[in-house]
A and B are shown apart, each in its own frame.
Chain A
Amino acid sequence: MSENLNSTWTADEMMTIAAARTLKDGNTCFVGIGIPSTAAILAKSMQAPNLFLIYESGTVNTNPQKLPLSIGDGELANHALTVVGMPEIFNYWLQSGRIDVGFLGAAQIDKFANINTTFIGQTYDSPKVRLPGAGGATEIAASCKEVAIIIRQTTRTFVKQVDFITSMGFGEGPGSRAKNRLRGGGPSRVITDLGILEPDPETLELTMTYLHPGVDINQAIKNTGWELKVSPNLKTTKAPEQSELEKVRALVSTSDK
Chain B
Amino acid sequence: MSKFLELPQAIESYVKNGDLIAMEGFTHLIPFAAGHEIIRQKIKDLTAVRLTPDLIYDQMIGAGCIKKLIFSWGGNPGVGSLHRFRDAYQNGWPNKIEIEEHTHAGLTNRYVAGASGIGFAVLKGYSGSDLVDHTKNVSEVKSPFSDEVLTAVAAINPDVTILHAQQADKAGNVMMWGITGVAKEAVFAASKVIVTVEEIVEKFSPKFSSIIIPSNLIDAISVVSNGAWPSYASDFYERDNNQYIAWDEISKERENFSKWLDDEIYSKSTAGKK
Point out residues on A near B: beta carbons under 8 Å.
Answer: 33-34, 56-59, 68-74, 76-78, 80, 82-87, 90-91, 94-95, 118, 124, 126-127, 130-139, 141-143, 164-168, 171, 176-177, 180-183, 256-257
Task: Please tell me if the beta carbons of A134 and B182 are within 8 angstroms of each other in the complex.
Answer: no
Cα distance A55–B257 when bound, in Å?
Answer: 32
B2 at the interface (CB under 8 A from A): no
Cα distance A77–B16 when bound, in Å?
Answer: 35
Task: Please tell me if the beta carbons of B71 and A77 are within 8 angstroms of each other in the complex.
Answer: no
Task: Please tell me if the beta carbons of A69 and B77 are within 8 angstroms of each other in the complex.
Answer: yes
Question: What are the residues of chain A within 8 A of B101 when measuring CB–CB?
Answer: 118, 133-134
Residue in B closest to A83 when the chains form the complex, CB atoms: B209
Question: What are the residues of chain B within 8 A of A256 when measuring CB–CB?
Answer: 241-242, 245
Task: Please tell me if the beta carbons of A70 and B239 are within 8 angstroms of each other in the complex.
Answer: yes
Residue in B closest to A126 when the chains form the complex, CB atoms: B90
B137 at the interface (CB under 8 A from A): no
Given contacts A136-B104, A138-B103, A181-B124, contact A57 B129 (CB under 8 A): no
B255 at the interface (CB under 8 A from A): no
Cα distance A86–B85 when bound, in Å?
Answer: 25
The smallest C-beta distance from A40 to any residue of chain B, in angstroms, reads: 16
Q: Considering residues B26, B75, B130, B184, which has the most beta carbons from chain A within 10 angstroms of its beta carbon? A: B130
Task: Please tell me if the beta carbons of A56 and B104 are within 8 angstroms of each other in the complex.
Answer: yes
Interface string of B238-255 (1 = CB under 8 A from A): 110110110000000000
Task: Please tell me if the beta carbons of A86 and B239 are within 8 angstroms of each other in the complex.
Answer: no
The smallest C-beta distance from A35 to any residue of chain B, in angstroms, reads: 12
Task: Give 19 new A-B contacts, CB below 8 A, not counting A86-B182, A95-B125.
Answer: A69-B79, A71-B27, A71-B77, A72-B26, A77-B209, A83-B180, A84-B209, A90-B123, A134-B72, A134-B103, A135-B104, A136-B104, A139-B105, A166-B129, A166-B131, A167-B128, A167-B129, A168-B127, A257-B78
Question: What are the residues of chain B within 8 A of A134 when measuring CB–CB?
Answer: 72-73, 101-104, 129, 131
Cα distance A256–B245 when bound, in Å?
Answer: 9
Contact pick for B27, options A57, A136, A171, CB 8 Å = A57
Task: Please tell me if the beta carbons of A82 and B71 are within 8 angstroms of each other in the complex.
Answer: no
Contact pick for B75, options A95, A131, A142, CB 8 Å = A131
Contact pick for B73, options A34, A69, A133, CB 8 Å = A133
Task: Please tell me if the beta carbons of B105 and A130 are within 8 angstroms of each other in the complex.
Answer: no
Cα distance A83–B207 when bound, in Å?
Answer: 12
Q: Considering residues B78, B102, B128, B180, which has the most beta carbons from chain A within 10 angstroms of its beta carbon? A: B128
Task: Please tell me if the beta carbons of B78 and A86 are within 8 angstroms of each other in the complex.
Answer: no
Residue in A closest to B125 when the chains form the complex, CB atoms: A139
Task: Please tell me if the beta carbons of A164 and B108 are within 8 angstroms of each other in the complex.
Answer: no
Point out residues on B near A: beta carbons under 8 Å.
Answer: 26-28, 51-52, 71-75, 77-79, 81, 85-86, 89-90, 101-105, 108-109, 112, 123-131, 134, 149, 177-185, 208-209, 211, 232, 234, 238-239, 241-242, 244-245
Task: Please tell me if the beta carbons of B26 and A136 are within 8 angstroms of each other in the complex.
Answer: no
Task: Please tell me if the beta carbons of A33 and B77 are within 8 angstroms of each other in the complex.
Answer: yes
Task: Please tell me if the beta carbons of B73 and A132 are within 8 angstroms of each other in the complex.
Answer: yes
Cα distance A69–B244 when bound, in Å?
Answer: 10
Task: Please tell me if the beta carbons of A182 and B244 are within 8 angstroms of each other in the complex.
Answer: no
Question: What are the residues of chain B within 8 A of A86 when measuring CB–CB?
Answer: 26, 51, 104, 108, 181-182, 185
Q: Considering residues B28, B129, B234, which has the most beta carbons from chain A within 10 angstroms of its beta carbon? A: B129
Task: Please tell me if the beta carbons of A138 and B149 are within 8 angstroms of each other in the complex.
Answer: no
Given contacts A77-B28, A82-B209, A134-B72, contact A180 B127 (CB under 8 A): yes
Question: Could you pull out 27 A-B pairs where Cβ atoms are within 8 angstroms?
Answer: A57-B28, A58-B179, A69-B77, A69-B241, A70-B78, A73-B239, A74-B232, A78-B234, A83-B178, A83-B180, A90-B123, A91-B105, A124-B134, A130-B81, A130-B85, A131-B75, A132-B81, A133-B74, A134-B72, A134-B102, A134-B104, A138-B129, A167-B128, A168-B128, A168-B129, A176-B128, A256-B242
Cα distance A131–B101 when bound, in Å?
Answer: 12
Contact pick for A183, options B75, B124, B129, CB 8 Å = B124
Q: Considering residues A70, A84, A87, which has the most beta carbons from chain B within 10 angstroms of its beta carbon? A: A70
Contact pick for A73, options B27, B75, B79, B184, CB 8 Å = B27
Task: Please tell me if the beta carbons of A138 and B131 are within 8 angstroms of each other in the complex.
Answer: yes
Given contacts A57-B27, A57-B179, contact A132 B75 (CB under 8 A): yes
Question: What are the residues of chain A within 8 A of B103 when measuring CB–CB?
Answer: 134-139
Question: What are the residues of chain A within 8 A of B102 when measuring CB–CB?
Answer: 134
Task: Please tell me if the beta carbons of A74 and B28 are within 8 angstroms of each other in the complex.
Answer: yes
